[in-house]
Structure 1
Amino acid sequence: MPNKPWLNDYPHEVPHTYDYPNQNLAKFLVDSAAAYPDHTVLDFMGKEISYSSLLKSVYRFANALLRLGIRKGERVAIMLPNCPQGIIAYYGTLLAGGVVVMTNPLYVPREIEHQLTDAGVRMIITMDALVNRVNKAMEKHPLEYTIVTGMQDYLPFPKNLLYPIKAKKDGMSAKVIYSHKVLSFKKMIAQSSEEPCEVKINALEDIALIQYTGGTTGFAKGVMLTHMNLISNTIQAQLWFYKAKIGEESYLAALPFFHVFGLTVLLNQAIYIAGKLILLPRFEINQVLKTIDEQKPTIFPGAPTMYIAIINHAEVQKYDLSSIEICVSGAAPLPIEVQEKFESISGGKLIEGYGLTEASPVTHVNNIWEKRKSGSVGIPVPDTEARIVNALTGEELPLGEIGELVVRGPQVMKGYWNRPEDTAASLRDGWLFTGDLARMDEDGFFFILDRRKDLIIAGGYNIYPREVEEVLFEHPNVEEAVVAGIVDPYRGESVKAYIVLKKGCTTTEADLKSFCKERLAVYKVPKVYEFRETLPKTLVGKVLRRKLIDEEAEKLVDQAKVDI
């Protein structure tokens, strides 16, 4: 694409292109530890760990893997919440030349079995409370090693003594029988050498991570991300944040690292600029507000639902959020109403970006301090090309038309693990076909309409759920809203809205319908409204629209049985 109008809106400080280092991704940690050995890198529930201390533990883990026979290219699963053990295992595996397979701790046995067997995992690092679930999942395909840790292993005194008592009370404790195949993480680290260790890799070719996609329409696919994919995307994001103070930034790590968004914009990026990570094992609104108030993080990447929870908290005014300078929202569309209200409460900048697992994940982002456009996901990051094409032919469409977004850049995946046909369908001449419907304006700003598969076609009209959701979010009583297409015997599909109201608020279907009619063409107005206490979400906070659609399909099947 010779014409890249977005470059005109690049800040002067941001280069159009960059020479990314051909190295092991874990070299970020090695370099930061050399430059800032005594700086705090991790704060885990009050326990602080320095860069030099973390690197020693990472070397110990890498050497332990090599001693256990893990070799270059072999897969190691990490199934942990945000905690020091996960970071040690992540960078240690990379230094040993292994391939990390991040696994969601909330997965049920069926999901664990698919992911670990599909990736050919030899070893997993997990929590004591999850061992039985892993064992059940892998009965037919036993792992060679299970490395077990407990939350208390890295908690400060007296939390390390109190946590096992609380876990037992909450039914989260588990008795682990250790053996030559089931090893203690803590003992393994203690008994290993802290001699520097780094297996030579080719950053352009060698895989660092197999990251599984959501799998909302069947089994998840493993995305192969090389060291260079993740290195380039970390640096691309950092180039955008050009006012960052090396060695001084503090990141609120509420996004899980087992999601590629959290992995890149939190873990890898913080380590790259020698920042501090304030680790939260899960997003709990009161804990998040208290942490911001007390620990003063400067950067808070998150998902829209996190910011929604904050702005709707009954006592948000009691907390000082003024330390927050930058928030990057991803994983789901950010409603304009949420963006504006969060910025007014915190005084910081909340910008929307765009990406997908197959691109490590960031491809677009709005300017932080310069021109941005409401409703836009921004412009391509350095070294990234994007265009709008006909989804069937791949032909580029005229400016302003809606089509499929395709992207190309150093962050784009190597392909899908053991799925050459899927790879060929998604990667064509270096271009990644995202499956998202979008348009580009004359300035090169991109606007995502929706996933191709989420497009609603009612009576021949194309309806984009995001547009309808934006209107619903404007209603003063609506806290969350998601729109989906349901079967309609006459129109093909009808628009259904799932609504979560703000606490203490009431409204009616007639009121919402009237509200929407004033702001939308009649064919876009939801025909059906369902009020709910909560919406189904991933741990990252992304609403599972597909699950809602599946529920509707099940209702139709049940109704058909009644009719028979």
Structure 2
Amino acid sequence: MPWNTTFEPLALPAMFARTVQACPDAALLYFLGRTFTYGELFRDAQAFAHALKRRGIAPGDRVGLFLPNVPSYVVAYYGAMMAGAVVVNFSPLYSVEELEQQVADSGTRLLVTVDVPELYATAQKVLQGSALKTLVVSSLAQMLPFAKGLAMRVFARSKIARVDYGESVLRWDEFLEGGRKHGGKLPEIDPQALALLQYTGGTTGTPKGAMLTHANLSINAQQVAGLNPYGDPSHEVFMGALPFFHVFANTALLNHAVVTGAAIAMVPRFDAKQVLQTIEKHGATGFPGVPTMFQALLDHPDLDKTDVSSLRVCISGGAPLPAPLREKFEARTGVRLVEGYGLTESSGVISTNPYEGTRKPGTIGQVVMQTEVLLLDKEDPTVLAAEGEPGELALHGPQIMQGYWNRPDAAKDVFVEHQGKTWLRTGDVATLDSDGFLEIVDRIKDMIAVGGFKVFPSQVEDVLLDHPGVKEALVIGRPDSYRGEAPVAYVTLNADAQATGEELRDWLNARVGKHERADEVVIRADLPKTMIGKLDRKALRAEVLG
């Protein structure tokens, strides 16, 4: 698809309605043995929207989703938007304090969760201790095939929360039934209206709600769909292991499927064995994931006896893709694994390597259609980087957020004017080659200052990952009285590896510049990861440096 392709800004309910009109009986979700069609989920979303109206939720009000990957997520997501509400995604891994803080910041009035004990307990405490008005609790057993649901109710009662239903805590099925009976007219949704608050540490640290419009999200879904070189996209089946609450999955899985009529073979959370079984059972054709997912598949003993031949491409995002991982995965599976890039602030997807044809391993590929980039001076973002030099990546395109919820101060830090346009500063240092392929060198805030030199941690990590015994690596700067900071590496080893920290340090230091040499290499059983499974440098820094 040509770069200058234009896309129609759609409200997400209108985007959903178009696909339902074209293929109402097609599968949208395969979930643990049950199939949910486009028409079925659309009707439930409409009922949810009417139920919200009955409850006094008006256009612009915030509706929170505190859910894993379950069918009720899809219903509540599109249903809230049909009512004109703004969806707020919350990670099911949040503590009471984290959920309470973001509920308060967003002004969420109604929260949807599921009767999983841990989730319900957290949501109930937030309901009692915040300005949240209503909790709607969906039933996991009701979303399963009849026999599985019955077995869960009879033999796995401990996995079902004892929900204290009442005026403020409502049953999902009764909530929807009330919406079906209520009926009435739903509001017309302006594509430029706010659709989603997606919380992120973002480019400047503390969690902030990125404001994404219907047009931002629907266009980014169309941009991702435009990357598909395989023909009729409605025949695609995506492996849905990424969590829907994360912006990568929201665009690359959910909205991408809905705009094209594709299906999603979904699992509640990532489990390597279950993912392999799901790929084989449903003939998954595409798999967006993070590097740790692909590593987990490589490590699983069932990989070599699982038929993954239906997969045409796997797309890695969320974190840098180590070259040894890509090479091993492709050699073992025969499936192409390409790297892409995106941000919460960009609705999810900015660039990717082509699914077919020329690609450049180690890069994040070429930008999607209608997206422009600048490289800014690393010290002064008001001027461009010198020709041929790395610079801070800045973005302009129809998928870029409108700003941060109630945080105009934070927005000022990430937007900059150049050439008569407003650009989003990413905080990532990049290079751009003559073919338009971008390579992320590092994050500005992660750079280590060693005696006046700037050390890019990712470059040192890449060298460590070339060692046959190293599985994962993170490098941070440790305060040093003479040099300011000194690089220290933390690694995990492959199962059969035999190496000491001292041996790895000497091996590394013989292969990097003098200022990049690590004072120490620490071997650990594991490294901290974020909620979607990418290595978490910030958490490591907080753990070891305090």
Q: What's the TM-score, normalizing by structure 1?
A: 0.92
State the one-letter code of the partner of 1:160: G
Counterpart secondary structure, 2:180: coil
Q: How does 1:88-487 map to 2 (within 5 A)?
A: 88-128=75-115, 129=117, 130-164=119-153, 168-169=157-158, 172-193=159-180, 198-204=186-192, 206-214=193-201, 219-391=206-378, 392-429=380-417, 430-487=422-479
Identify the residue that residue 524 of structure 2 maps to in structure 1: 532
> Which is further off, 172-181 or 131-140?
131-140
1:164 Cα offset (Å): 4.2
The percent identity for this pair of structures is: 39
- Displacement of 1:216 in angstroms is 10
Q: Is the 8 A contact 2:126 2:132 kept in 1?
A: no
Quick check: 1:76–1:124 contact (8 Å CA) kept in 2? yes
Kindly provide the CA deviation profile for residues 130-173 of structure 1, in whole angstroms up to 9, marking residues without a partner as x: 2331232344423221101122120113221233456544xx44
Does residue 29 of structure 1 match 2:16? yes
Residue number in structure 1 paired with 2:496: 504
The answer to whether the 8 Å contact 1:71/1:96 transfers is yes
Shift of the 22–442 alpha-carbon distance from structure 1 to 2, 3 Å rule, reads closer
1:322 aligned counterpart, secondary structure: coil
Counterpart in the other structure of 1:58: 45
CA contact (8 A) 2:50 2:186 kept: no
Superposed displacement of residue 217, structure 1 = 7.6
The whole-number CA distance in structure 1 between the counterparts of 2:313 and 2:154 is 38
CA contact (8 A) 1:46 1:156 kept: yes
Q: Distance in 2 between matches of 1:449 and 1:168?
A: 50
Q: Which is further off, 499-508 or 260-269?
A: 499-508
Q: Distance in 2 between matches of 1:290 and 1:435?
A: 39
Q: 2: distance between equivalents of 1:166 and 1:111?
A: 33
Q: Which amino acid aligns with 1:307?
A: F
**1:46-85 → structure 2 map (5 Å cutoff):** 46-85=33-72
Are the counterparts in 1 of residues 198 and 212 from structure 2 also a CA contact under 8 Å? yes
- Contact in 2 for aligned 1:59/1:197 (Cα 8 Å): no
Question: Matches of 2:172 and 2:37 in 1, distance apart?
Answer: 19
Amino acid at match of 2:37: S
Report what 1:541 is aligned to. Answer: 533
CA contact (8 A) 1:103 1:258 kept: yes
**Distance change >3 Å, CA 343–CA 166, structure 1 → 2:** farther
**CA shift for structure 1 position 373:** 1.2
When residues 36 and 449 of structure 1 are mapped into structure 2, their CA distance, relative to the original with a 3 A threshold, is same
The one-letter code matched in structure 1 to 2:483 is R
**Partner amino acid for 1:157?**
F
- Counterpart amino acid of 1:163? M
Greater CA drift, 317-326 or 75-84: 317-326
In 2, are the aligned partners of 1:354 and 1:377 still within 8 Å (CA)? Answer: yes
Q: Taking structure 1 as reference, are residues 184 and 220 closer, same or farther at Cα in structure 2, changes over 3 Å only?
A: same
Match among 513, 532, 538 for residue 505 of structure 2 = 513
Contact 2:273 2:302 in 1 (8 A): no
Counterparts of 1:224 and 1:56, CA distance in 2: 27
Please give the secondary structure, in 2, of the residue aligned with 1:341: helix
Query: Distance between the aligned counterparts of 1:303 and 1:432, measured in 2?
Result: 24
Calculate the aligned-residue CA RMSD, in Å. Answer: 1.9
Q: What is the aligned partner in structure 2 of residue 10 from structure 1?
A: none
Q: Which runs of 5+ in 2 are unaligned?
A: none
Change (3 A) 1:396 1:87: same
Q: Residues 67-110 of structure 1, C-alpha deviation per residue, up to 9 Å, x if partnerless?
A: 11111111000000001000000000111111000000110011
- Partners of 2:315 and 2:416 in 1: how far apart? 30
Q: 1:494 aligns with which of 464, 486, 492?
A: 486
* 1:495-514 deviations in Å (ceiling 9; x for gaps): 12111112233211233123
Q: Is the 8 A contact 2:393 2:428 kept in 1?
A: yes
Deviation at 1:463, TM superposition (A): 1.3
Q: Give the conservation status (yes or no) of the 8 Å contact 2:430–2:438.
A: yes
Alignment partners' CA distance in 2, 1:501 and 1:162? 41
Normalising by structure 2, report the TM-score.
0.94
TM-aligned CA deviation for residue 65 of structure 1: 0.9
Amino acid at match of 2:47: R
- What's the secondary structure of 1:26's corresponding residue? helix
Which string of whole-angstrom CA distances, capped at 9 and with x for unpartnered residues, describes residues 41-64 of structure 1?
111100111111111111111111
Q: Is the 8 A contact 2:502 2:521 kept in 1?
A: no
